[in-house]
């Protein structure tokens, strides 16, 4: 029986291409010829180009989007990285439409997005450090506080902050963490557990009328560190009111004022700030501290919601210490992911 033979071609590089490769090559050649022979490539895709220019404007000038109506500026900044998903969509439309104008326009938001977030795409984690810290909003409705406590303790954190502590669940957390952390303090709905002695513990007034922030001095081997734990008020997105964050913003200003008045040189802030580092409403805090995720993380480190993280609202911020690495921990019984970081407290050591 005669067998059908396929004739293969060899390209300039010496590699063989079968019938499928020939078809793909012919399609590409035909597509490219369509571009060369079509004089409308500059007139088509003007709407796509306009959308690309608008997107680049939003990315570049997000700080100027007003908050006067529904806190639209803060809402945009909370999910700002996700606007980058529009870029490949616009690119695909430009290619389908064979629009040179749209293709060039799509370069604008791509460059702006990379300028804003390109640094988060690289792995900046380092080695060393002398203090590991972690923070977790455990969720007041957590059905497994004991399991959650064991999970975060397994991270190896030397200092652990917990937020949204339900009064009835505090004894459970204390019992589960006692073997790992001999020192701890709970103030209102936030608490701090530490391998090292705590002193000068006090609540921090963030203008709420109840206690959701605290401060303590941790006697680490590298020297004393002022550790703040805070749970800023939640924000809501409502159709009739937009992004409601007035109380969160007021509390952020109060927290920033407290940190600005701190006498110790080394400061670490752990907590659920209900806002991202891009949100201008947190400037009172973020302007004077650095994010461990931005300085020493791998990726965006989104922490909420745990089922499908879309924003980094659980933060570890530092001042006077050097971030070495930062990461998120596996999900627990909470709707937030725990986050952790390793820092270098003794910056004079080699």
Q: Where are the domains of the chain?
A: 38-121, 131-344
pTM of the shown model:
0.86
DSSP three-state, residue 342: strand
Judged on CB neighbours under 10 Å (0-12, 13-18, 19+), 109 is buried
How confident is the prediction along the chain (350 residues), in pLDDT tens digits per residue? Answer: 444 444 444 444 444 456 777 776 765 665 565 555 566 788 889 999 999 999 999 999 999 999 877 788 888 999 999 999 999 999 999 999 889 999 999 999 999 999 999 999 999 999 899 999 999 999 999 999 999 999 999 999 999 999 999 999 999 999 999 999 999 999 999 999 999 999 999 999 999 989 999 999 999 999 999 999 999 998 876 554 455 678 999 999 999 999 999 999 999 999 999 999 999 999 999 999 999 999 999 999 999 999 999 999 999 999 999 999 999 999 999 999 999 999 999 877 65
Q: For residues 197 and 187, what is the distance between their CA atoms, to the nearest angstrom?
A: 17
As to burial, measured by CB atoms within 10 angstroms (0-12 exposed, 13-18 middle, 19+ buried), residue 159 is buried
What is 131-344's CATH topology? Answer: Deoxyribonuclease I; Chain A (3.60.10)
């Amino acid at each position: 029986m005669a067998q059908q033979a396929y004739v293969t071609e060899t390209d300039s590089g010496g590699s063989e291409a079968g019938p499928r490769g020939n078809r793909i090559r012919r399609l590409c050649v035909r597509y490219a010829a369509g571009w060369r022979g079509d004089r409308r490539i500059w007139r088509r895709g003007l709407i796509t180009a306009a959308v690309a220019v608008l997107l680049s404007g939003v990315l570049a000038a997000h700080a100027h989007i007003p908050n006067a109506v529904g806190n639209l500026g803060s809402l945009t900044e909370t999910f700002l990285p996700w606007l980058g998903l529009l870029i490949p969509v616009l690119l695909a439309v430009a290619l389908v439409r064979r629009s040179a104008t749209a293709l060039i326009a799509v370069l604008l938001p791509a460059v702006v997005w990379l300028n804003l977030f390109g640094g988060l795409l690289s792995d900046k984690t380092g080695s060393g450090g002398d203090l590991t810290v972690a923070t977790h909003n455990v969720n007041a409705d957590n059905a497994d506080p004991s399991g959650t406590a064991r999970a975060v303790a397994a991270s190896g954190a030397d200092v652990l902050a917990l937020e949204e502590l339900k009064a009835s669940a505090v004894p459970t957390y204390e019992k589960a963490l006692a073997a790992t952390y001999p020192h701890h303090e709970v103030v209102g709905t936030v608490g701090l557990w530490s391998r090292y002695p705590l002193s000068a513990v006090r609540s921090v007034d963030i203008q709420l009328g109840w206690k959701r922030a605290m401060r303590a001095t941790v006697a680490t081997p590298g020297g004393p560190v002022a550790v703040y734990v805070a749970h800023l008020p939640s924000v809501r997105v409502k159709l009739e009111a937009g992004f409601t964050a007035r109380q969160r913003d007021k509390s952020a200003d109060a927290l920033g004022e407290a940190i600005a008045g701190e006498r110790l040189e080394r400061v670490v802030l752990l907590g659920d700030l209900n806002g991202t580092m891009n949100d201008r409403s947190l400037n009172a805090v973020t302007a004077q501290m650095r994010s461990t995720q931005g300085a020493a993380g791998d990726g965006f480190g989104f922490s909420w919601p745990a089922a499908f993280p879309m924003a980094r609202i659980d933060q570890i911020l530092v001042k006077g210490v050097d971030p070495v690495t930062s990461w998120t921990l596996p999900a627990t019984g909470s709707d937030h992911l725990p986050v952790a970081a390793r820092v270098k407290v003794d910056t004079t050591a080699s």
